Structure 1
């Protein structure tokens, strides 16, 4: 079921200046919960999900409610979640659906009477397989996804013992035919895999350096083949969803309080940035900059939300009362 607002809760879409933390509210609702804004390549639109559907919102909107949202027809695509990205040329939006597949939605929507193209291939039997989309390569030809699956087929994928062994790893998926190439393949929980602006590397969050502390995710950068992984954050907070600005100069991420398991909704979180050097890694001695503290977490910055000129980013928060 899609997320809904708590009694007295609001949903807002904000545009944020990463240097000052100044915010501009471009959407606010007490009835519809939207998540994970993407910024269109032409700079004119934000794309969000809400109520299992895909929506567009003009960037120049000013604290408008859901009447300003434009629905993007999805044809027969099942209910979607908050993992969606826009192709670099702006022609399509790739979405993750609740059936565990990734679909391709034309920018103007699926024509009436037609079906959206499914990108990912049929799931292997007995592994509770799911694809969670997080990025697209600069040439638009490859998706970075998180594959959730059991390591081997079982008779009852829904059994409790099967859920305990469910794993998440990074993979690359060809847009043309859905062929998947594993990047990581281990027991460490991975998430949020996204391309660097040059397309040569991937950023993701992982518990692979947690020292056995459940949930202690940190940020990493790795090659497209999974080689040469470098840990980028080293602190007690739980750090998720790395997003490098289009100019390659700034890393944005959401930071949860120590001890947080996963990336839950309705938490006090901080949006942080790190300056990146010429090698695409944080500059020597760089420390995280706290841009904005807010009430959110899940749905705030799950997917890329930088403006094309790297001067601002979009996010969502969910204040109470």
Structure 2
């Protein structure tokens, strides 16, 4: 389903710095943009919006559509190929595709295996993808942690109890970081976790909290991480809530270095939004007229 802005709502793309400062990079009332990635040269952001792919030139503050063919409308799960020239994409037909970042025809990677495939991670060598498999696109069923060769082929399950989402490789490729509901009986109470990318080990909880924590993203140097914090009792990762984008050291997930209140949720940081120099991260807010300014 393609999201659109509500009446009185606008989309804001923010860039936050590890020093705690932040700047509004772009705002629009015309299109709902989601899930920023940084290009490898650090000069642009890649986002989805209106079922399409867009690039935002950070210095020029201009946005342009990436001309893609052979692919249905996009959702907010996309990650850049480590080669810097291609991108892996999830589409609303439940499949994963690969395309050139400059545009052109997209190639489908996943097979018709009865599941929807929600992409979240690519290994540092570009040879493997991590995704969440959802049987027949049934969102009442738990998401399963899966990997697949980036060139296509058979998928491999990674054993994790309960629903999980957002699997993303560590910079050394040894771990998958994700959020899971395996550590509590409270419905929807996602917590941050990691598991060996090769499987064969139990999931490790990174942070025990009363909030609902989603989408852990490690910086390229592995020293820092960000995640999105939903209010206690939230189920899933819905849109249009007061949430926090949290920035931590990977040595101590329980001690936030900076926290940025945001009116958002879905689309804010669904994918890794760290710059290649590990100095900045991007996120998206969706303030609505008369909403609390502190949360915008």
Output the TM-score relative to the length of structure 2: 0.93
1:148 paired with 2:101, answer: no
Cα distance in 1 between the residues matched to 2:152 and 2:270: 25
Cα distance in 1 between the residues matched to 2:281 and 2:124: 19
Cα distance in 2 between the residues matched to 1:4 and 1:253: 24
Residue 6 of structure 1 and its aligned partner are, at CA, apart by: 0.9
- Between the two proteins, the alignment pairs up a number of residues equal to 288
Corresponding residue for residue 74 of structure 2:
80
Corresponding residue for residue 54 of structure 1:
53
Gapped runs of 5+ residues in structure 2?
A: 290-296
Alignment match of 1:107 (pick from 91, 101, 114) = 101
Residue 123 of structure 1 and its aligned partner are, at CA, apart by: 2.1
Cα distance in 1 between the residues matched to 2:153 and 2:63: 31
Alignment match of 1:117 (pick from 96, 104, 107) = 107
Question: Helix, strand or coil: the match of 2:143?
Answer: strand
Cα distance in 2 between the residues matched to 1:226 and 1:109: 38
Alignment match of 2:201 (pick from 215, 227, 233) = 227
Task: Judge which range, 172-181 or 296-305, deviates more.
Answer: 172-181
Cα distance in 2 between the residues matched to 1:195 and 1:205: 13
Task: Judge which range, 219-228 or 190-199, deviates more.
Answer: 219-228
Corresponding residue for residue 207 of structure 1:
181
Query: 1:224-275 deviations in whole A, cap 9, x for unaligned?
Result: 1151421011010000000001111112100001000100000000111221
Question: Helix, strand or coil: the match of 2:210?
Answer: coil
Gapped runs of 5+ residues in structure 1?
A: 63-67, 150-156
- Rg: which structure is higher? 1
Asked whether the equivalents of residues 248 and 258 of structure 2 are also in contact (C-alpha less than 8 Å), the reply is: no
Cα distance in 2 between the residues matched to 1:145 and 1:73: 25
Residue 290 of structure 1 and its aligned partner are, at CA, apart by: 4.1
Alignment match of 1:297 (pick from 249, 257, 265) = 265
Cα distance in 2 between the residues matched to 1:77 and 1:163: 23
Give the CA RMSD over aligned residues: 1.6
Query: 1:172-193 deviations in whole A, cap 9, x for unaligned?
Result: 110122321111264x110010
Task: Judge which range, 251-260 or 224-233, deviates more.
Answer: 224-233
Cα distance in 2 between the residues matched to 1:86 and 1:25: 23
Output the TM-score relative to the length of structure 1: 0.86
Cα distance in 1 between the residues matched to 2:88 and 2:118: 11
CA separation of 1:163 and 1:261: change in aligned 2, threshold 3 A: closer
Asked whether the equivalents of residues 27 and 61 of structure 1 are also in contact (C-alpha less than 8 Å), the reply is: no
Cα distance in 2 between the residues matched to 1:179 and 1:239: 31
Cα distance in 2 between the residues matched to 1:241 and 1:6: 25
Question: Helix, strand or coil: the match of 1:167?
Answer: coil
